[in-house]
Structure 1
Amino acid sequence: MGLSRRTLLTAAAALPVLAACGRGGGRTGAVRFEGWDYEATLVQQNLDSFGQANPDLRIEYTPITSAQYVRKVVAEFTGDNGPDALYCYDDSLASWAQAGYLQPIDGLPGVDEVYKGLYESNAKAMTYQGKRYGLPYYTDCHGLLYNAELLGRAGISTPPSSLDELEAQALRIKQAGILRYPIGFPAQLSDTWSGWIWTLLYGSGGALFTDDLRPNAANDTAVRDVLAWVRRAATVTKVIDPASLQQTPVPLDNAFMAGQYAFTIGARYAARAFNDPARSKVAGRVKLGYVPSLDGRRLGTAGNTRMYCLAAHTQVKEQAFRLLRYLGGYDERGSPLTARFWFLKRGLGFAFPALERDPEITTALAKFTDPVVYSELAGMAKARNVLAVPWYAEYEHGLQKTVQRLLTDQTDAAEAATALDSGAELLARRYS
C-alpha cells in the first residue's frame, strides 16, 4: 500500500524523541494552529471571534485535507516545523505523545474544571499514561441509522433490537425487491472506518482486549459470534453490500443519503445530515436507533473523541493554550462555548453532559432525532481501551484486513479472532 497513514504514524511513534522536534512553531510570534479541513470556513469564523476578544494574539490557521492530515502533521513534527496547537484523533494520541510531539496540559488554568465536566469516556480518551493531553473538540458515538420509509415498504414497523433481527429485516427488504443490499458499512481503510465494527462488538458486550490490554478476541464468545454474524450477513444471506470493501465513510454516507441503503451503523451526528433536505434525498425518513446486539440487550456502543492539543516544543505555550481553552473549555459564564457552537451549526456531538439540559440544544436536537435515544447512546458509549497503546494504528490496519477477509469469506470467526490476538501479541512484543 506504499507509505500509508498507519505506516508513517507508527514509524514516528518508534522514533526517539528529537530534541528540537517541533521547535519551528511560533517563529513568527503567531500561534500556528492546524486541523483537518472539516468546515474550515466555520473554524475561521470561530477563530475570528476569538481574535476579537484577544486582539493581542495572532492565529495562523491552516486546514489540511483530512485524508492527508496525520501524514502531514507527522512530517512537520519530524521536520522541526510543527504547529503550536492542533487537532488530534484519539487514535493518534498514544503514538504522538510517545513520539514527543505533544505535551501534557495537567496543571494549566481550567483543565481540572473541564475534565470534571466531561463524560468519563471522553476524559479517558484524552489521557495517556495518567497524563491529560487534550481539551475536547467534539465527540460522538454510534447507533443504528435506518431509513424508516424503506422499512415500512417491507411491512416493518419497528427497528431491529438484535443482530438476527437486523439480518432478517434486511433480507425481507431484499426479497421484496426494494434494495439488493440493504446494509452498508465502510470497510476500506481510512481514519474513521472502524467505528461500525467496534460498535457491533461493544453493543453485544464483546471485548477485543481485557482491561489490562491483553488480547481477548479468541477467548470472548461475544466477539466470535459478532464476527460470525458479519461473515454470514455478507456471504450467506448477502444483505451487506460487497461495495463495502471499497467504501470509506463519506461515500458511504452519500450513498445512504441517495437512498441506496436501509441500514448502517454510524455516528449520531449523521442523523442530522441524513435528514437535511439540502443534502439528502431521504430527509425526514432517517431515524437513529440503539445498537442491535446478539441477544437484543442494550450493552454499549463505541465512542470517539477528537481533541485540541498543545505541541511539546511550542515557543508560544501561554498564547497557544489560551486558544485551546477557548476552543475546548468554558467561557466566562461557565459554558463550553465552542462545543455549543459546533452542535448548533453542524450537530457535532459534545463531551459535556451539561449541554443536554441546554434548552436551545434540546430544541435543535428534537428536529432531527429522538433526544432520549441520542442521550442514552452517549451514556453507554465506551472508548476503545486499546487506544492507550502506541501500536494501535498498526492493530487497526490488521483489524481492517481481517474484517475484509470475513466479508469475502476468506476466513471464519474463530480464525479471525485468533489472527487478531496473534497480531496484537506481535505488536506488543515489538514495542516492549
Structure 2
Amino acid sequence: MSKSFRNSLLGAVIISASLVPHAFAETTLNALFMAQAAYSEDDVRAMTEAFQKANPDIKVNLEFVPYEGLHDKTVLAQGSGGGYDIVLFDVIWPAEYAENKVLVDVSSRVTDEMKKGVLPGAWTTVEYNGAYYGMPWILDTKYLFYNKKILKEAGIDAPPKTWDELTADAKIIKDKGLLETPIAWSWAQAEAAICDYTTLVSAYGGDFLKDGKPDFQNGGGLDALKYMVSSYESGLTNPNSKEFLEEDVRSVFQNGEAAFALNWTYMYNLANDPKESKVAGDVGVVPAPGVEGKSTVSAVNGSMGLGIPTASKHPDEAWKYIVYMTSQTVQNQYAKLSLPIWASSYSDPAVTAGQEELIAAAKEGLAAMYPRPTTPRYQELSAALQQGIQEALLGQASPEDALKAAADNSGL
C-alpha cells in the first residue's frame, strides 16, 4: 500500500468517525432522590428523561431511597470522596450541611428572575446565614384530610376548624359506630412524628428554641404533646399510629378506615384516584386546624430542595439539571403530587384544574408553615424528641418528663 493512499485512507477514517454521533453521554451525573411522598419515582424518571433528551451530552443516574435514608446516604457519600452530583435535602438540613461543607453555596447562580418568581417561603428551604445551598423543589406542608361521606353520615356539616373540634367530631363518629378509631397520624419514632408534633406546636404558639436553648418542654410545645397523648389515650386515634409513617396513614385513609388524617400534599390526588383508593370522590382537604384564641390554622414546613454536594466533579452540569427540574414549566406539568414553588403557578388553570380544594387549602397552609429548628445539631435534637414523643405515647413517661428528658438529650 502506497504511503499517499494509506494517508488518504486514514484521513477518510478520521473524517467519518467525526461524523458518527457520540455513542455515550459525555457527562454522567448521579442523583439521590426520595422513594416516598411528593413526586413519584415515575414522575422523576419522566422529568429526567425529558432533560436528557434536551441535553444528550448529559446522562443522569437516579437512585431512590426512603426518606429515612436520605441524610445518611448524602453524608456517607461525601465522606467517601464523592458519589452524588445532585441530592434531595430536607429543610432541616442546610444548617448542618453548610457548617460541614456538604453542599455547594449556589447563591451566585441564583438569578433575579428566580428570586422574584419563587414564593418567598420556599427560599427558607435552602437558605442558611443569607446563602442559598440549592433550589427549592418540593413545597409542602401537612393538611387535614377528611372523609366527606363519613362526616355526612355522622351529621357533621363542616370539617373542624380547631383541634378540639376535631376531637369532638371524632367522638361523634366513634359513638355512632361509624368507625372505631377515626383519626390516623404518622407517629412512628421517625421524622414523620416530628412533623405532626411541629404542626401542633404551631397551633399552640410554642417555641422549639429560645436563645439557642430548648424551649419545647414549656408552653405550646408541652401543650402539643399533651394533645397527642390525650388523642391517643382517648381511643379516637388509631393505636397503630405510633408505628405509622405517611404511607401507612395514606393506606388506612384510602381504605376508608379513618375519617381524619394528617398528611402531605401528595395524598390528595392519590386518595381521589379510583384505581388507588376506596374513598375516591369523598376526599376533603383543609388546612390543619388551629387553637381557639391562639391560631386559625397550623402548618409545618415540610419543603425540600435540590443541591450539589461539594464533592461533585460536575457542578455546572448538576446545576443545569437542577434548574430544569425546578423550572416552572416542569413543575406545572407535574403539579398533582407536589405543588409548584412558583407564585404565578397558582393562577394557572393547568395547575389548579381538578384540585381547586387543595389549592385553596394550600394558600392558607403554605402561608402558615412553621419551621422545625434551624441548628447544625438538628439530627440530635430530632432523635431526642422522637424518643420523648414515643415514651409519652406509650405511657412510659408523662409529657412533662418526656420533653424535659428530650431537652436534656438534645445536644443544645
Task: Kindly indicate whether residue 343 of structure 2 is the aligned counterpart of residue 338 of structure 1.
Answer: no
Matches within 5 A, 1:401-420: 401-420=387-406
Shift of 1:132: 0.6
Q: 1:123-272 to 2 correspondence within 5 Å? A: 123-210=123-210, 212-220=211-219, 222-235=220-233, 237-272=234-269
Match of 1:325 in 2: 323
Deviations 1:118-138 (A, max 9, x none): 333321221123211011221
Q: Name 2:283's counterpart in structure 1.
A: 286
Shift of 1:66: 4.5
Distance across 2 between alignment mates of 1:60 and 1:371: 33
Question: How far apart in 2 are the matches of 1:125 and 1:93?
Answer: 8
**Residues 1:28 and 1:189: Cα distance change in structure 2 (over 3 Å):** farther
Q: Does 1:391 align with 2:377?
A: yes
Using the alignment, how far apart are the partners of 2:87 and 2:216 within structure 1?
A: 34
**Other-structure match for 2:12:** none
Is the aligned partner of 1:56 residue 2:54?
A: no
Q: Deviations over 1:323-375 (max 9, x none)?
A: 1111124xxxxxx12222321xx331222222111121121322xx2532232
Number of paired residues?
Answer: 384
Asked if 2 retains the 8 angstrom alpha-carbon contact of 1:224 and 1:414, the reply is: yes
Q: Are positions 1:274 and 2:271 aligned together?
A: yes
The aligned runs of 1:10-159 (5 Å cut-off) are 29-38=27-36, 39-108=40-109, 110-159=110-159
CA contact (8 A) 1:226 1:294 kept: no
Q: CA deviation at 1:64?
A: 3.6
* 1:49 Cα offset (Å): 1.5
Shift of 1:404: 1.6
Equivalent of 1:357, from 342, 347, 358?
A: 347
Unaligned runs of 5+ in 1: 1-26, 330-335
Are the equivalent residues in 2 in contact too, given 1:195–1:266 (CA < 8 A)? no
Does the Cα contact within 8 Å between 2:387 and 2:406 map onto a contact in 1? Answer: no
- In the other structure, the counterpart of 1:333 is none
Deviation, structure 1 residue 28: 7.5
Q: What whole-Å deviation, never above 9, does each CA across 1:98-135 have from its counterpart, x for those lacking one?
A: 33221110111x44432333333321221123211011
Within 2, Cα distance between the matches of 1:310 and 1:356? Answer: 28
Inter-partner Cα distance in structure 2 for 1:192 and 1:227: 14
CA offset digits 1:8-32 (Å, max 9, x no partner): xxxxxxxxxxxxxxxxxxx984222
Bigger shift: residues 86-95 or 165-174: 86-95
Structure 1 counterpart of 2:59, which letter? R
In the TM superposition, residue 254 of structure 1 has moved relative to its aligned partner by: 0.6
Q: Bigger CA drift: 127-136 or 410-419?
A: 410-419
Runs of 4+ in structure 1 over 4 Å off: none
Deviation of the 1:299 alpha carbon: 4.5
SS across alignment from 1:206: coil
Q: Distance in 2 between matches of 1:157 and 1:231?
A: 27
Question: 1: CA distance between counterparts of 2:123 and 2:403?
Answer: 29
Check conservation: 1:290, 1:373, Cα contact below 8 A.
Answer: yes
Alignment check: 8 A CA contact 2:26 2:58 kept:
no
Counterpart residue number, 1:20: none
1:375 to 334, 346, 363: 363
Shift of 1:283: 0.9
Structure 2: which 5+ runs fail to align?
1-24
Structure-2 change in CA distance of 1:62 and 1:227 (3 Å): closer
- Provide the identity percentage: 23
**CA deviation digits over 1:196-232, x for unaligned, max 9?**
211121123222224x543222342x32222222222
**Larger CA Rg, structure 1 vs 2:** 2
Contact 1:122/1:383, CA 8 A, preserved across alignment: no
SS in 2 for 1:141: coil
Distance 1:166 1:322, change over 3 A: same
Counterpart CA distance in 1 for 2:317 and 2:26 is 13
The question of whether the paired residues in 2 share the 8 Å contact of 1:398 and 1:420 is answered with yes
User: Aligned partner of 1:409: which letter?
Assistant: G
Q: 3-state SS of the aligned residue for 1:397?
A: helix
Equivalent AA in structure 2 for residue 254 of structure 1: S
- Code of the residue aligned with 2:121 in structure 1: it is S
1:17 is matched with which residue?
none
Which residue identity is paired with 1:147?
A: N
How much has 1:376 moved relative to structure 2? 1.6
Give yes or no for contact 1:183–1:262 (8 Å, CA) kept in 2: yes
* C-alpha distance in structure 2 between counterparts of 1:403 and 1:191, whole Å: 11
Opposite residue 372 of structure 1, the aligned amino acid is A
What is the TM-score normalised by the length of structure 1? 0.82
Report the Cα distance in structure 2 between the residues aligned to 1:418 and 1:117, rounded to whole angstroms: 43
- The Cα of 1:309 is off from its aligned counterpart by 0.4
Question: Does the residue aligned with 2:351 lie in a helix, a strand or coil?
Answer: helix
Distance 1:114 1:382 in 2: 23
**Deviation of 1:191 (Å):** 4.6
Aligned to 1:304: 302
Match of 1:347 in 2: 337
